[in-house]
Amino acid sequence: MPAQPFDYAVVRWVPNLDRGEWLNVGVVLYCAVADHIACRVELDSTRAAALCPTADLSGPTLHLSALAAVCRGDSVAGPVAQLPTGERFHWLVHPRSAALQVSDVHAGLSEDLHATLDLLFERLVRVRHPA
């Protein structure tokens, strides 16, 4: 398969907006050519506790589940989940002042969108803890 252009953004959890600190918790990837949108999200409780020991993670976990449902086009996520993939991507990566934020949108080329999402997630979100 020839390389296809894609856009992606990193999803960030911001436990305290005043401090401006964040933890990368996901990646949203969109390819207009393939009409493909996908995400991977994971809130690492160990890293979250290091950033904000008093944080209640139930809210961000619920919001990440909702973000993933919108990305999948799951009807339980409401009308926005029924939008075309491009509109869903733009809705998901629109800047907001909230506990879940996204990075600037970045672009790339991929021959395998699923593998690219996995690679981005491993590189930008997941941290391997020492055994």
- Report pLDDT digits (tens) over 10-49: 999 999 988 889 999 999 999 999 999 999 999 999 999 9
Indicate if the pLDDT at residue 105 is higher than 80.
Answer: yes
The beta strand positions in 43-119, using DSSP E, are 100-102, 106-110
Global pTM exceeds 0.85: yes
Rounded Cα distance between 73 and 51, Å, is: 32
36 alpha-carbon distance from chain centroid: 15
Query: Residue ranges per domain, the chain?
Result: 4-124
Question: With 0-12 CB in 10 A as exposed, 13-18 as middle and 19+ as buried, what is 32?
Answer: middle
